[in-house]
Amino acid sequence: MSIKHILARTGWGVGLAAAAALAPVLSAATAIAQPVVPTEAYARLPDAQSVNISPDGTRIAMITGAERDQTFALIVSLDGSEQSFAIPGFSRDIDDELLVGVDWLSDRYILIVYRERISVPGQPWEDADVARRVVYDLEERDYHEIDPQASIESLLPDDPDGILISTIVVQQRGTSVDRARGGGVGQIVNLYRYDMDDADYDRVANGTLSTVNWVIGEDNQPILRQDREADEQRWRVYDYNGRRANLIYEETYSVERFGRDGRRAISRMSNLVGEDVQGRGIWFSQLEDRDKLRAYLFHPQTGEISGPEIAPEDFDFGGFITDWRTGKVIGATWFEERRQTEWFDPDFAALQDQLEDLFADSDITITSWDRAGERLIVNVAGGATSDDFYLLDRTTGEMAFLMSAYPEVPPERIHPVSVVNYTARDGLDLWGYLTLPNDRPADGLPLVIAPHGGPQSRDVYGFDPLFAQPYADMGYAVFQPNFRGSDGMGQDFVRRGHGEWGRLMQSDITDAVEHLVAEGVVDAGRVCIWGWSYGGYAALAGWALTPDVYRCAIAGAPVSDILEMMAWQADQLGGAGAVNYWTEYIGDWRVERDRMVAISPARQAANGDDPLLVIHAREDQIVPFEQAEIMVAAARNAGKDVELVAIDGDGHNLLFARTRQITIDAVRNFLLEHNPPDPR
């Protein structure tokens, strides 16, 4: 099969647009004069998420809606044989619900995942988002909630009312209480056939108190059971044949301490994923030499492990692609500077090559396919797109445009993203993403440098509606550095960031600025730093520790005082794990108090020299709003120019379009005032 041509951005898209009109339109906010694209076009929630085709290839399920209280699941008929319809919300109060995923379980049933905002007694905030999952019956237009502890192991293509799940059974006084939520003396992971018609569980296989995983064969029966014995520090794998389990692999793993009193396992084995489509073994991923994540094969016949079979040179392996029809692993994907995909199925491999040739500047993801493998949904991200979805018909070779995630951003106002490599002052090779305005030369531009959050995270290639595209559209160059300590490039690279908050992690950002200045791309006198979460800390650290580099700073949800932040963290529910992590990453603030003071921007506010904007949500459960108050008070006490934008009704991750719009507007207006771009 070859792709003959791509249909125009009409046709299929027209029908979907009409269906999407069921969603209320977000009213326009106050316009900013300079940008071409209005803020609400970036701030809205994506118009298309979780786009998947039905097993029979006749319908699409997706999530759409511009605002949190307007999101809904949409079922669209591709052949016009039935009317498209929206699935209503599930919470008592639709304002407290956010749909985040939808997928087909069979032609009749779909799985919908949503977050519901509920009260959490005993916490310093009023509400929290919890994940819920429902099975929706498209024939009866009814639904029921599925056990939140259940894991879907396999669809059952020949059993349209059933799915295979594993779920926790709580062992209590010698009896099993299925789907219990707490209590008990032990937890067992059993395997069940779940009947979606009557919400009933039929046990397929019994686990033990140590069972952590099952591997399902092509006939939808368990073929391997995986146990982890914590007391003995052993992995065990059993060849499961009906009711009999035969031990075929055993490994003793070690445990290392980290942080204050944290412990983590070091082993060769990890959770097995599934059978290879070519019959080579069972795939899993694990760190190689405690550094980069790699893909390995376990061979049940011999009990041996081979590999690494997939080992990107400078990057971590990502994950596996499983064929829902057979349960077999048919491919793998990971992120380098761009998304990489390796298919083990030759038909999918040939198709991937064709798509990458067609959309050379974009990342290609085949997100779903029908039972016959003839109709597929293709996601095209990056390049001259804000995240587009296409329907590919392999019988005709035609691709039909379906929808764009950000339809109000025209293709001509999507600004190009490229990879820039540079060297840190200690010789470490680094890189990041540079977004340049497409209506002016890359010469002496004002710069917005935008370090990511985490910090054990990373930026990826593509359309960034919050941290890059809105400001490139104003005429700024935007650079997003993957500084040391970032994820995706191995644990050695992460460990290079340990103990380097405010030090080498910060100078990595400064070195990126100096590189872009030396290349002539940006004007050294017109640099502003803008970030969120850890990126917000980096913005404050830039403002307080290296004020000569920046003309202004914008800090969103920032840590400003490490000592106060860690004291708060230790008091939170489950805070011990976070304390161990941060002790390893930042350092032990109990014994290194002077260093923590030296790298805490609020305690160094007297050194800050530039205009400062702090943005923070009052209900932030990750970094408390108090951190913004501490920073603003310290800056004002030092006589500095500081503004505070306090956001009501949202948390750390800005899940509402209205709060994203407040944020983007605040950043745009602050940049226009303190670091204006050149006029068009």
| CA-based nearest residue to 265, from 304, 231, 295 | 231
Share of the chain above pLDDT 90, in %: 71
**pLDDT tens digits, one per residue of 308-333:** 999 999 999 999 999 999 999 999 99
Query: If you average pLDDT over residues 462-476, what whole number do you get?
Result: 97
Does residue 163 register a pLDDT over 60?
yes
**pLDDT tens digits, one per residue of 4-19:** 555 544 333 333 333 3
- Of the candidate ranges 173-182, 239-248, 254-263, 469-478, the one whose mean pLDDT is the lowest: 173-182
Peptide bond just before 455 cis, omega within 30 deg: yes
Are 509 and 542 a contacting pair, CB within 8 Å? yes
- Of the candidate ranges 257-261, 448-452, 594-598, the one whose mean pLDDT is the lowest: 257-261
Does residue 452 register a pLDDT over 80?
yes
pLDDT value of position 30:
34
pLDDT value of position 175:
43
For residues 569 and 182, the model is more confident at: 569
Does residue 345 register a pLDDT over 80?
yes
| DSSP letter, residue 93 | S
Rounded Cα gap, residues 34 and 475, in angstroms: 9
Share of the chain above pLDDT 70, in %: 88
pLDDT value of position 11:
37
| CA-based nearest residue to 503, from 529, 485, 522 | 485
Does residue 130 register a pLDDT over 80?
no
For β-strands 59-64 and 72-77, DSSP reports them as antiparallel
Of 4-8, 18-22, 203-207, 592-596, give the range with the top mean pLDDT: 592-596
- Of the candidate ranges 142-146, 173-177, 380-384, the one whose mean pLDDT is the lowest: 173-177
Domain boundaries, the chain: 424-674
Are 332 and 342 a contacting pair, CB within 8 Å? yes
pLDDT value of position 177:
40
Helix (H, G, I), strand (E, B) or coil at 188: strand
**pLDDT tens digits, one per residue of 615-629:** 999 999 899 999 999
Does residue 277 register a pLDDT over 80?
yes
Rounded Cα gap, residues 516 and 327, in angstroms: 48
Rounded Cα gap, residues 433 and 450, in angstroms: 10
579 — pLDDT class (breaks 50, 70, 90): confident
Does residue 355 register a pLDDT over 50?
yes
**pLDDT tens digits, one per residue of 65-108:** 888 777 889 999 998 888 888 887 665 455 567 788 899 999 99
For residues 113 and 461, the model is more confident at: 461
- The overall average pLDDT reported for the chain is 88
pLDDT value of position 486:
97
| CA-based nearest residue to 645, from 542, 555, 565, 537 | 555
Does residue 184 register a pLDDT over 70?
no
Domain covering 424-674 assigned CATH 3.40.50.300 in the classification? no
525 — pLDDT class (breaks 50, 70, 90): very high
pLDDT value of position 1:
55
Bridge partners, residue 64, by sequence: 72
pLDDT value of position 65:
85
280 — pLDDT class (breaks 50, 70, 90): very high
Residue 416 burial by Cβ neighbours in a 10 Å radius (0-12, 13-18, 19+): middle
- The residues near 279 (Cβ < 8 Å, ≥ 6 apart) are none
Are 380 and 364 a contacting pair, CB within 8 Å? yes
Concatenated DSSP letters of 280-346:
S-EEEEEEETTTEEEEEEEETTTTEEEEEEE--SSS---EEEE-TTT--EEEEEEESSSEEEEESSH
For residues 655 and 390, the model is more confident at: 390
Residue 671 burial by Cβ neighbours in a 10 Å radius (0-12, 13-18, 19+): buried
Quote the tokens at residue 532. 């969120």
- Of the candidate ranges 49-58, 245-254, 519-528, the one whose mean pLDDT is the lowest: 245-254
Does residue 53 register a pLDDT over 80?
yes
- Of the candidate ranges 56-60, 127-131, 202-206, 266-270, the one whose mean pLDDT is the lowest: 127-131
CA 438 to chain CA mean position, Å: 28
Does residue 573 register a pLDDT over 80?
no
**pLDDT tens digits, one per residue of 421-443:** 999 999 999 999 999 999 999 99
